[in-house]
Amino acid sequence: MVFKIGACLLLWAATIQARPPVVPIGEYGLFTESSSDYGLAKRDLTDLYPEQTISIPLDHFQNEDRYEPHSNATFKLRYWYDASHYKKGGPVIILHGGETSGQGRLPFLQKGMLAQLAKATNGVGVVLEHRYYGTSIPTKDFSTKNLRFLTTEQAMADSAYFSKNVVFKGLEDKDLTAPKTPHILYGGSYAGAQVALLRVEYPEIFWGAISSSGVTKAIWHYWQYYEPTRQHAPQHCVKQTQTFVDLVDNIALRGRNRETTQKLKEFFSLGDLTHTDDFANVLSFGISGWQSTNWDPAISGKNFFRYCDTITTDRLLYPVSDEQQKLATELIKAGKYGRHGRQLKNRLLNYAAYVNATYVAPCRRRGSTLDTCFGTHDPAFYKRDDTRQEWRLWNYQVCTEWGFLQTGSGVPKFIKPLVSRLIDLKYTTTTCREAYNLHGEADVRRINKYGGFNIEYPRLAIIDGEADPWKEASPHATFARPRRSTLDKPFILIPDAVHHYFPPDRIKERSQAQEIEFVKKWLKDWDREHGRD
């Protein structure tokens, strides 16, 4: 059976979130994922689904040198569950929380595919938090030494331990552990990759897995992040962004004229921002919003389309001074676009005013300096390692195992980039060097040994969005081998879908039916193999 449309699992897969290539120090709180308001209020959800914990070994790999000194400690891993649909013989369906607090995933116990699958299969729905995230914190701080146990391998072993040992309150008389009960995994983005890896590494424990937007190929220098944006975003916006990036780079990168570069920064109201790479990073904020777009304006990130409308409009949208008008003309010439001056002038003025109104003015209103809001060069900040410094967690995983460094410098010369070539590996690895004293590349072999683009296993569903910036790190990447989708190995690419995708009802209903169909087929296979026919 060939699937013509994709599943609605992409509706929550934005755990690797829409954000600029480098998150400024002052913006970490703004770029962390907030709890979803999908469904009941948070307080109601925590009352409905009380927090549970299971004691888990901190170090599952006592013979691996990289975890030395080893530890015999245990910690409390959080989970939540809904057994309201459970009937004898039903499965356990586990949604992996990924690199955020598991509490933010509670709405999916009530609505969405987790709830739909639990209901359709008479199963128990579970949300499982990832070690170190939320309150599943196993160490006294987030120092580099204590983060050595924050690896995908250890987190996968947590999942296996959980499934082999969990006892659900109210169902103590039922043995719902794996492999005596079929456990089906479900995850998106990083968690989507994790569940795919789990199906390959622990096939005797996990009967099936559904990977949504799963980044199964770890890539150190991931310049391809912006390729789906270049190919699928509104083309008038793409081309205008490319022009402005080229103009900026002609001045700030290739021109090497400090005076003109300073004028450029002042034109964008960023003259007080010390480092030019930080300046280029701020200019990337608008185009980076593509990941948060959606077919539904009520859900879609609004900044991306406001950005596009602003930079492609020929009439002035903001009041500008005569001095700004003259400076715009001067910068267009310095950026080697003088022959297009008349067409570009108002658009460039609009762009600068947009940056000021959207990013600079709010920073000023907070009484902060531009370096505080948008800087990334603060050694004192990177020394903080108490457990409030949640930014240290995913960044550590990036620097040690996953990579995904999004640059403009890596874009081939024959393609005009969507972000400045000033955003290079040296800049995007600042956190690796300053926070963890890591100067080499991440060991992506730890992840890619499971298959990377070619990861495949019976009862492993691969579901991606065609326009997802993370598609090029998935089995649906442009140069990955094509596959046929079957009920045993669903391989689904949703046309035009991005990373954080809530499909229209007409697609959602059909895609939910497809997912329920293949999961039910998997469970029939389990019954047959275990003599339950």
Where in the sequence numbering do the catalytic residues fall?
189, 468
List all residues 6 or more positions away from 333 whose beta carbon is below 8 Å from its beta carbon. 341
The rounded distance, in Å, linking the Cα atoms of 209 and 353 is 47
By the 8 A CB rule, do 445 and 270 touch? no
Tokens of 269: 């109201």
For residue 499, give the nearest of 5, 4, 19 by alpha carbon: 19
The rounded distance, in Å, linking the Cα atoms of 469 and 481 is 19
DSSP state of 270: -
For residue 485, give the nearest of 527, 453, 515 by alpha carbon: 515
- Cα-Cα-Cα-Cα dihedral sign, residues 51, 54, 59, 61: negative
Phi, psi of 208, rounded to the nearest 5 degrees: -160, 165
List all residues 6 or more positions away from 146 whose beta carbon is below 8 Å from its beta carbon. 139, 140
Q: Is 213 left (phi over 0), alpha (psi -120 to 50) or beta?
A: left
Expressed in percent and rounded to 5, the helix, strand and coil fractions of the chain are 45, 10, 45
For residue 201, give the nearest of 473, 482, 446, 485 by alpha carbon: 446
Q: Is 322 exposed, middle or buried (0-12, 13-18, 19+ CB in 10 A)?
A: exposed
Tokens of 102: 């598991």
Q: Is 354 helix (H, G, I), strand (E, B) or coil?
A: helix
The rounded distance, in Å, linking the Cα atoms of 68 and 59 is 10
